Structure 1
Amino acid sequence: MLGKRLGAVIAAALTGIVLTACDDKMSSGATSDVIPDVIGMTLLDAKDELDPTGLDVETIDITGQDRMVLVEGNWFVAGQDLLAGQPAGDRTTITLSIGKEGEARAPEDPSPPAQDPPAVVPEVVGMKLPDAKAAIEALGLDVELHDDTGGNRSVFWEHNWTVSSQSVAGGDTVAAGQVLTLGVLKDGEHPPTTTVQAPAPSTTVDDEIAQMDPATQTAINDATYLGTLELGGIAVGDEQTAIAAGHTLCSDLSAGTDPFMIRYAMIKSSMDRNAPVSGDEAQWILEAAAVAYCPEFTADVTNSGFPR
C-alpha cells in the first residue's frame, strides 16, 4: 500500500514539473507583442525596435514647432504614450515625442535637476561680439543677436561686429538659462537716428572691391565663400567643386527657384550620396553662396522658410 501511494505522489510531482515547464515556454515565446522601451533611441532605431509589435508610429515635436523630420537618425525619442513592458493588445498606434540631439535625450537620473544660481549680467556694450558672447555664455546664459541698423542682416564673421546694446543692463540679476538679446553693428557703424537720412553710400571696402580687376574680385568672392563654409563647420573637400556648387546655387536663385526647394534638394542629394547635411547646414551653405556670389538674394535666402 505504501509503495502505491509513493508512486502516485512521484507521478503527480512529475506531472506538475512538466506543466510548469510548458507554461514557462509558452510565456517566454510571446515577446513580439510586448511594447519595448525606445526612449533615448534615434527615431530610426525606435521604429526598427517597434516593428515586431505591428504598431503604427506617430510623432510629436517636443518643442511644439511641428518641425519636418527629414533625417530620422538626427532625431531622438524623449517619450512614448504606451508604457514599455505592457502588451500591445488591440492597440494600433504608438505616439513618440521627439526632438533634435540635446533636446530629447532622456535624463539618466529621474530626480529633478539642481537649479543653477542666478547670474549677474556683465556689461558688454562696446565689446567685440565673440568676447561678449563668451562672457555671457560662461554664466550659463544664452545669446540672441539683433541687427541694430534694423536691416536684419546675418552675422557670419563675428569678429567684424561690435555689441551696441543689450536687452538686460549690466549688473542686473537673471535666472540661469535666460536668453539675452545683443544688438550688434559692424565696425564703424552707428545706430540709425530718428531723423530721415539719405541712403548710406557704399562702404569703402565695397568701393575698393568694385574698382578691382575681375580676377581679384573673383578671388575675394571665392575666399569669402570658402571661409564662410569653414566657419560654419562645413567640410569643403575640393575647393573648385565647392565653388562651382556655390555658383550653381546662385543660378537657381536667379532662375526664381524657391530657397526652401533649393535647400530640400541639397538635403535629398546629400542623403543619396550617403553624406547627409542637416537643414541648418543647408541654410548656411545657401546663405554663404548668396553673400559671396549673388548678394541681391541674401535677404530672400535669410528670410525664407527653414527645414530641419
Structure 2
Amino acid sequence: MANWKVIGGIAAGVFILGGIGSAMEDKDSTTSNDAGTAATSAATPTATVGATASASPDDKAAGPSTKADVEKKAVPEFVGMGLQSAQDAAQEAGFYGLASHDSLGRGRMQAFDRNWKVCSQSVAAGRTVSTDTELDFGAVKLDETCPAKDRTAPTAAGGKMPDFKGQSVKAARAALDSGTSITVADASADDRFVLIESNWKVCTQTPKAGTGLNGQPVEFGAVKFGEPCP
C-alpha cells in the first residue's frame, strides 16, 4: 500500500506541474499575440481627422480685401498756416500721405514742424482728389519770407557745370554726381569749418559754370546765409 501512495503522489505532482506549464504557455501565447497586435498597429499609420480638409468657398471669401476703399475730397487751403497745423488739418480732412520740402531750395530738413510755415502746396486748394493722394508742402522758417515760387537747385543736365553761386552747398552737392570729389572751404578770412552745408551758400566754384564735367574734382568757397560773399 505504501508503494501505491508514492505512485499516486508522483502522479498528482506530474499533473499539477503539467497544469502550471500549460497555464504559462497560455500566458506566453497571449503576451505574444498582444505584442504582435501592437506592432501591427504601430506599423499602420492612422489618418488625422481634418488633415486633408480644404478651405470652403465661404472661408476664402471671408479674407481681407487687398485695397482699402478711398474717398474723394476737396483739398483745403494750407498756405500761410504753420507746418504742424497744416499737417494736423490735412489728417483731419482724411489726407494722411504728407511730405514737406524747403521752399528756398536749400535742402533743409523740417525737423521741428512748428518752426516752419507753409508757402506752397502740391495740390491746389479746392481741387477734389482721392484721399490717398500725397500732399507736399513747401515751407520756410517762421522768420523767413516765402519766395514767389519754390526754388530748386540747377542740375548738371547735359554734362555741364551749373552756376551754383547763391545756392546752398548742400543743394550744389546733391546736383552733382554722387561720385564727385568735392572740397568746401570758408570763403571769408575766418577759416571756419563748413559743418551744416544747408546753412552755407556758394560764392566761388571751380570749375566755372558751363565747363564740361568729366569726373574732375570740384571746389566751392562759401559763407553762411545772411553774410555777403567777399
Q: What is the TM-score normalised by the length of structure 2?
A: 0.40
Select the structure that is richer in helix.
Answer: 1
Q: TM-score, normalised by structure 1?
A: 0.31
Larger fraction in strand: 2
Which of structures 1 and 2 has the larger relative contact order (alpha carbons within 8 angstroms, sep 6+)? 2
Q: Which has the larger radius of gyration?
A: 2
